Amino acid sequence: MLNDPRAAVRLVREIEGIALRLAPRRVTLMEVCGTHTAVIVKSGLRRLLPKNIQLVSGPGCPVCVTPPGLIDAAITLAGRPRVILVTFGDMLRVPGGGGSLEAARAGGADVRVIYSPTELFALARENRSSRIVFFSAGFETTAPSVAWTLMQAERSGIENLFVIAANKLLPPALEVLAQAPDLRIDGFICPGHVSAIIGASAFEAVARTHHVPAVVSGFEPVDILLAVLMLLRQVQAAKALVEIAYMRAVTFGGNRRAQVIIRTVFKRVDSEWRGFSLIPDSGLGFTKGYARFDAVMEAGMAVESGRPAPGCMCGEILRGVKSPEECGLFGTTCTPETPIGPCIVSSEGTCAAHYNQKTAGIDDF
Amino acid sequence: MCLAVPARVIEVEGDYARVDIDGIRMRICVALVDDLAVGEYVLVHTGFAIHKLDLDKAIKTLELLRRMVNDHENAE
Amino acid sequence: MRNLIEEIFVSAFSNDILCELGDSAVIRSGSAGKLAFTTDSFVVKPLFFRGGDIGRLAVCGTVNDLAVAGARPRFLSVSMIIEEGFPISLLKKITRSVTAAAREADVVIATGDTKVVERGAAEGIFITTAGVGDIPEHVSVGPERIDVGDAVLVNGFIGDHGVALILGRGEYDFKSDLESDVAPLAGMIESILMVCPGLHFMRDLTRGGIAAALNEVASASGKAIEVDEAAIPVRHEVSAVCHLLGIDPLNIGNEGKCIIICPARDCDTVLAVMQRHEYGRTAAVIGRVIEYGKAVVIGRTAIGSKRIIDMPSGRLLPRIC
């Protein structure tokens, strides 16, 4: 049923009905999850929606919002002797101020990709004379698995494991976006798996204080259509509530056990996002008990603020205020094969999605 | 963000469990979820179960959608 | 990789035969008639995987390149670069696979070469094969023959080989009985050409998967291809691994699959012949060539919308977000 074209058609009809009543008003809904963006692109969902309902992509890709200075720091660390730099595959091709970790690897640095943080145990054990530096990016979904791994590492006395903490928290970024004067968002399609951990109630401030409706969505095309419909109903009724369209995986309270594990290892810190500069309380730093895992501190490094490549508009694009076509580099010097900014790297990045449609001239089917 | 897929629990061994995802068997960490039983479904992200799936609620969502489709087809 | 080929090699070696950039070069040599000639190197990791090994792969890869050019594969060369200290028992095992695959494909290994390099200069073993086959005079396949309205078929489940390798490398804690699809397709293709000698085009699916092959066909023919994504056969296990790692099954490599483009009127016959063959049991019609004015691949999605299926770029990297 979740993949049933009839369910999709039915939901689209309902959406069209409301859109017609709202017309000529233009409704802008933002998804803030890279996997949502990927599903929307892959299923061609935008094309099914009425013209006055616009879906825009927000900062849903945690590696895209990682500031270039931190990537440069990781590249520097990876280049040091007896360092194995470990990260998720997503991070490998994301450019910092200069190169990427993939380029560093091609240049001889020991850079490895893992699927699960639990792989760090074996890496640390099998390479005792090296420092294992885990470049940890991700939102709240990923944070508890990293935190649990560090708790285990602490317990079993693993001493050669360090972490570059690039983990980010989404609700503070949504609050910034909800208030942005250059952006008018009528509703947020909230990330389903982040919410499985933190609970839908984490988006209460967005809805109550900033009066932007928020609906937590699952990851089938039909899930997303359902979330769009629920948001439009709220817009129509001039309400701003938090609702869940992904009941099978999300509650209002979230996963309490995971929340405790995160709090044991990490504390909230102000954090720099690419495109946003500093957002208060939007990142994770180490608590006192886990400070020794801090790779940047251990290496005695200062992380430069770092500049994105000249002309790169990924910052504005991540905030949803500019579209890729407004960027001078887009599609000319910056392509998926030769990425300059982060948004063109992975298939779900906003620029990558637009790039494929641009080359195809797709608007006219 | 955050890719996660549903998996069926085959065997629980302390903090870890063996699960099946459409014919792929894998060992995952289940330390983030409470009281897991064989046969239950979890969402797996980066090798960790991050949530137990609520099958009753999944069925309710499917029923809601089915009703929407049926009502529609009856109306036409 | 594509840039590398186009910018360095094609410009340096440029000639009429090479610039066709087909799976095989089509040549005429004296009185021998039309010949297909191709070569390929194999550097697979792991060397042994469920459903095959580097030996079988090295024969099938070259045999398939010849077969999709419309040729009957005849002679192969096999060159091996072996790392010092590589176990003789494994070398024998690989050689047996080469022999068995060659017998199955009915090709003669006519020449070969062996080099041993010092430890670290190769990873176990690298194999290069080259092959020659005859193209019957009445067979003429090529992208220029593709017409609007043609049917597009595939001979079965896609992505098995790539996923079997991912599982075989043991980088992730995933287990499954899934086997690579590595197989010589010459026999099946010969049967197809017997009932449909006028078919327009064939291409085997290798690195980059069906997405890469379809895009290459679109750009070589200058026509658009529309595929029904739900019609493309994908095993549950393959789609599960793809979901876990955030990769698209359409971008995953195959070694025993090809797409066939034939006139719509021949579609049912071709499908029936494929399905009767061991390597085409789960063959399916997946799309057609359409009038669109641009050389693109359009996917009709499960929920009834459309998207562009683009050329995969770069290496497949697992993602978590």
Which is higher by pLDDT, C316 or A32? A32
Q: Which of B7-16, C151-160, C168-177 has the lowest mean pLDDT?
A: C168-177
d(C-alpha C209, C-alpha C4), whole Å: 19
Q: Looking at the domain assignment, is residue C219 inside a domain?
A: yes
Q: Are A52 and A26 in contact (CB under 8 A)?
A: yes
Strand partners, A162: A133
Number of domains chain C is built from: 2
Q: Which of A171-175, C6-10, C221-225, C277-281 has the lowest mean pLDDT?
A: C6-10
Which is higher by pLDDT, A267 or A95? A267
Each residue of C77-106: pLDDT tens digit? 999 999 999 999 999 999 999 999 999 999
Q: Looking at the domain assignment, is residue C207 inside a domain?
A: yes
Q: Does C318 contact chain B (CB < 8 Å)?
A: no
Kind of pairing between the strands at C174-175 and B24-29: antiparallel
Q: Looking at the domain assignment, is residue C321 inside a domain?
A: no
Sign of the torsion formed by the C-alpha atoms of C2, C6, C7 and C12: positive
DSSP C119-132: TTSSSSEEEEEEEE
Identify the residue whose tokens are 């697979």. C44
Each residue of A147-162: pLDDT tens digit? 999 999 999 999 999 9
Number of domains chain B is built from: 1
Q: Does C9 contact chain B (CB < 8 Å)?
A: no
C299 lies in the same domain as C162: yes
**Amino acid identity of C99?**
T
Q: Is C173–B44 a contact, with Cβ atoms under 8 angstroms apart?
A: no
C116 lies in the same domain as C31: yes
Q: Is B1–A34 a contact, with Cβ atoms under 8 angstroms apart?
A: yes
The structure tokens listed for A144 are 């508890």
Q: Please tell me the predicted confidence (pLDDT) of residue A166.
A: 95
Q: Please tell me the predicted confidence (pLDDT) of residue B75.
A: 58
C127 lies in the same domain as C161: no
| Residue A345 with chain B: CB contacts under 8 Å | none
Q: What is the mean pLDDT of the segment spanning A247-261?
A: 96
Q: Please tell me the predicted confidence (pLDDT) of residue B11.
A: 97
Which is higher by pLDDT, C21 or A114? A114
Q: Does C4 contact chain A (CB < 8 Å)?
A: no
| Residue A139 with chain B: CB contacts under 8 Å | 1-2
The closest of C133, C121, C98, C113 to C23, measured between CA atoms, is: C133
Model confidence at B65, in pLDDT bands (50, 70, 90)?
A: confident
DSSP code of C303?
A: T
C184 lies in the same domain as C300: yes
**Chains contacting chain B through 3 or more C-beta pairs under 8 A:** A, C
Rounded to an integer, what is the distance from CA A316 to the centroid of its chain?
Answer: 15
Closest residue of C to A6, CA-based? Answer: C303
Q: Are C154 and C258 in contact (CB under 8 A)?
A: yes
Model confidence at A286, in pLDDT bands (50, 70, 90)?
A: very high
d(C-alpha B2, C-alpha A178), whole Å: 22
C160 lies in the same domain as C108: no
Model confidence at B1, in pLDDT bands (50, 70, 90)?
A: very low
Q: What is the mean pLDDT of the segment spanning A235-244?
A: 97
Among C135, C166, C196, the domain-final residue is: C135
Instruction: Please check the confidence at residue A365 and state whether its pLDDT lies above 50.
Output: no
Each residue of C28-65: pLDDT tens digit? 877 778 999 999 999 999 999 999 999 999 999 999 99
E strands of A139-260, at which residues?
161-167, 187-191, 214-217, 242-244
Q: Is A337–C307 a contact, with Cβ atoms under 8 angstroms apart?
A: no
d(C-alpha C319, C-alpha B3), whole Å: 8
Q: How many CB atoms lie within 10 A of CB A91?
A: 31
DSSP A282-348: EEEEE-GGGGGGBHHHHTT-------PPTT--HHHHHTTSS-GGG-SSBTTTB-SSS-SSGGGTSTT
Which is higher by pLDDT, C62 or A183? C62
CA dihedral C259, C261, C265, C271 (to 10 degrees): -10
Q: Looking at the domain assignment, is residue C313 inside a domain?
A: no
Say how many residues make up chain A.
365
Q: What is the mean pLDDT of the segment spanning A344-356?
A: 76
CATH at residue C48: 3.30.1330.10
C190 lies in the same domain as C95: no
| Closest chain C C-alpha to B3 CA, distance in angstroms | 5
Catalogue all structural domains in chain A, each as residue range(s) with its CATH number. 5-61+170-244 (3.40.50.11750), 68-169+255-299 (3.40.50.11740)
Q: Please tell me the predicted confidence (pLDDT) of residue A163.
A: 98
Q: Please tell me the predicted confidence (pLDDT) of residue C52.
A: 97
Closest residue of B to A249, CA-based? Answer: B53
pTM over 0.85: yes
Q: Looking at the domain assignment, is residue C50 inside a domain?
A: yes
Q: What is the mean pLDDT of the segment spanning A41-70?
A: 90
Nearest to A356 among C246, C302, C310 (CB): C310
Each residue of C102-114: pLDDT tens digit? 999 999 999 999 9
Q: Is C305–A356 a contact, with Cβ atoms under 8 angstroms apart?
A: no
Each residue of C4-21: pLDDT tens digit? 777 888 888 888 888 777
Q: Are A245 and A223 in contact (CB under 8 A)?
A: yes
CATH at residue B51: 2.30.30.140
The structure tokens listed for A26 are 């233009």
Q: Are C280 and C220 in contact (CB under 8 A)?
A: no
| Residue B46 with chain C: CB contacts under 8 Å | 320
Q: What is the mean pLDDT of the segment spanning A102-119?
A: 95
* Main-chain phi, psi angles of C78, to 5 degrees: -130, 120
Q: Please tell me the predicted confidence (pLDDT) of residue A38.
A: 85
Q: Please tell me the predicted confidence (pLDDT) of residue B72.
A: 63
Nearest to C174 among B2, B26, B46 (CB): B26
Q: Please tell me the predicted confidence (pLDDT) of residue C73.
A: 97
Q: Does B21 contact chain A (CB < 8 Å)?
A: no
Model confidence at B62, in pLDDT bands (50, 70, 90)?
A: confident
d(C-alpha A346, C-alpha A61), whole Å: 9
Instruction: Tally B–C CB contacts below 8 A.
Output: 47
Q: Is C66 helix (H, G, I), strand (E, B) or coil?
A: helix
C121 lies in the same domain as C148: no
Which is higher by pLDDT, A111 or A324? A111
C46 prior amide bond cis, ω within 30: yes
Q: Please tell me the predicted confidence (pLDDT) of residue A304.
A: 77
Domain extent at residue C8: 1-135
pLDDT above 90: percentage of residues in chain A = 69
The closest of B44, B30, A159 to C172, measured between CA atoms, is: B44
Q: Looking at the domain assignment, is residue C316 inside a domain?
A: no
Closest residue of C to B17, CA-based? Answer: C173
Nearest to A115 among B31, B47, B69 (CB): B47
| Residue C304 with chain A: CB contacts under 8 Å | 5, 8-9, 48
Domain extent at residue B27: 5-73
Instruction: Tally A–C CB contacts below 8 A.
Output: 97
Q: Please tell me the predicted confidence (pLDDT) of residue C10.
A: 82
| Residue A142 with chain B: CB contacts under 8 Å | 2, 45-46
Among C114, C135, C156, the domain-final residue is: C135
Instruction: Please check the confidence at residue A364 and state whether its pLDDT lies above 60.
Output: no
Q: Please tell me the predicted confidence (pLDDT) of residue A277.
A: 75
The structure tokens listed for A97 are 């101020």
Mutate to test the interface with B, among A145, A250, A259, A264 (most CBs of B within 10 A): A145
Nearest to C237 among B3, B22, B47 (CB): B22
**Residues in B 23-62 with any Cβ partner in A closer than 8 A:** 28-29, 31-34, 43, 45-48, 50-51, 53-55, 57-58, 60-62
The structure tokens listed for C73 are 């594969």
Q: Is A115–C313 a contact, with Cβ atoms under 8 angstroms apart?
A: no
Q: Please tell me the predicted confidence (pLDDT) of residue C263.
A: 97
CATH at residue C215: 3.90.650.10
Which is higher by pLDDT, C274 or A350? C274
Q: Using alpha carbons only, what angle is made at residue C320 by residues A65 and A302, rounded to the nearest 5 degrees?
A: 40
Q: Is B3–C320 a contact, with Cβ atoms under 8 angstroms apart?
A: yes
| Residue C209 with chain A: CB contacts under 8 Å | none
Q: What is the mean pLDDT of the segment spanning A110-126?
A: 96
Q: Please tell me the predicted confidence (pLDDT) of residue A132.
A: 98
Q: Using alpha carbons only, what angle is made at residue A56 by residues A50 and A57, rounded to the nearest 5 degrees?
A: 145
How far is CA C254 from each of CA A306, C60, C164, C313, rounded to the nearest angstrom?
42, 11, 10, 17
Nearest to B24 among C174, C246, C321 (CB): C174
C227 lies in the same domain as C88: no
Query: If you average pLDDT over every residue of chain A, what do you get?
Result: 91
Which is higher by pLDDT, C237 or A340? C237
Each residue of C213-259: pLDDT tens digit? 999 999 999 999 999 999 999 999 999 999 999 899 999 999 999 99
**Chains contacting chain C through 3 or more C-beta pairs under 8 A:** A, B
The closest of A218, A47, C198, C175 to B21, measured between CA atoms, is: C175
d(C-alpha C190, C-alpha C282), whole Å: 18
| Closest chain A C-alpha to B36 CA, distance in angstroms | 13
| Residue B62 with chain A: CB contacts under 8 Å | 1-2
How far is CA B45 from each of CA A153, A225, B29, C169, rounded to the nearest angstrom?
20, 23, 10, 21
The structure tokens listed for C17 are 């035969």
Q: Helix A34-43 and helix A350-360: axis angle, to 10°?
A: 20
Among C84, C104, C135, the domain-final residue is: C135
Closest residue of B to C164, CA-based? Answer: B24
Q: How many CB atoms lie within 10 A of CB C8?
A: 10
